[in-house]
Structure 1
Amino acid sequence: MALDPSEPPAKPAPSRRKRWLGMAAVCAALAAAAWAVATGTIEIPERFNPWAPLDVAAPPDWLTGFKLERARREPARCLAALAQTGMQYELLPDRVTGPGCGFRNAVRLRSAGVRLGTAPSLSCPMALSFFMWERHALQPAARQRFGQPVVAIEHLGSYACRNVNRGDDAMPGPSRSRHATADALDVAGLTLADGRRITVLQAWPRSSAASTDDPAALLLRDAHRGACRFFNGALGPDYNAAHRDHFHLETGGYDMCR
Structure 2
Amino acid sequence: MRFLAVLKFLVVLAIPLAIGLGLYAFGRGRPQDLPWTALDLGQPVGLFTARKLAMLADDAPRCRMLLADAGVRATRLPPRIGPGGCGYADGVTLGPGGTRGIAFAPAPLGTSCAIAASLAVWEWEVVQPAALAWFGRPVTRIDHFGSYSCRRIYGRASGRWSEHSTADAVDIAGFRLGDGTRITVARDWKGGGKKAAFLHDVRDGACRLFATTLSPDYNAAHADHLHLDQAARGKVGMRGFCPSGPRAPR
What TM-score, normalized to structure 1? 0.77
**Gap runs ≥5 in structure 1:** 1-15, 35-42
Per-residue CA deviations over 1:202-255 (Å, capped at 9, x if unaligned) read: 1001xxx5xx2x000000000111111111111111212111111111112445
TM-score by length of 2: 0.79
Residue matched to 1:74: 59
Question: 1:54·1:71 contact (CA, 8 Å) conserved in 2?
Answer: no
Which range moved further: 117-126 or 20-29?
20-29
- Greater gyration radius: 1
Q: Quote the offset at 1:23 in angstroms.
A: 6.6
Which residue of structure 1 aligns with residue 168 of structure 2? 183
Quote how far apart the aligned CAs of 1:55 are: 1.3
Are residues 236 and 26 of structure 1, via their aligned partners in 2, closer, same or farther at CA, if it must alter by over 3 Å? closer
Give runs of aligned pairs for residues 1-258 of structure 1, distance below 5 A: 24=8, 27=11, 30=14, 46-47=31-32, 49-110=34-95, 111-113=98-100, 114-117=102-105, 118-165=107-154, 173-205=158-190, 212=192, 214-254=193-233, 255-258=240-243
Deviation at 1:172, TM superposition (A): 5.2
Cα distance in 2 for residues equivalent to 1:67 and 1:176 = 24
Q: Render the CA deviation track for 1:49-81: whole Å, top value 9, x for unaligned.
A: 422211111111223233323334333332222
Matched AA of 1:65: A
Query: Percentage identity across aligned positions?
Result: 37
Task: Supply the RMSD in Å over aligned alpha carbons.
Answer: 3.0
Distance 1:183 1:22 in 2: 39
CA gap 1:237/1:29 in 2 versus in 1, 3 angstroms: closer
- What is the CA-CA distance between 1:133 and the residue it aligns to? 0.9
Q: Distance in 2 between matches of 1:26 and 1:192?
A: 51
Tell me by how many angstroms 1:103 deviates. 0.5
SS in 2 for 1:218: helix
Structure with more contact order per residue of length (Cα contacts < 8 Å, sep ≥ 6)? 2
In structure 2, C-alpha distance between the alignment counterparts of 1:217 and 1:183, rounded to whole Å: 27
Size of the aligned set, in residue pairs, is 226
Deviation digits for residues 14-58 of structure 1, max 9, x if unmatched?
A: xx98xx759726615846997xxxxxxxx9974454222111111
- Per mean C-alpha deviation after superposition, the further-off stretch among 123-132 and 57-66 is 57-66
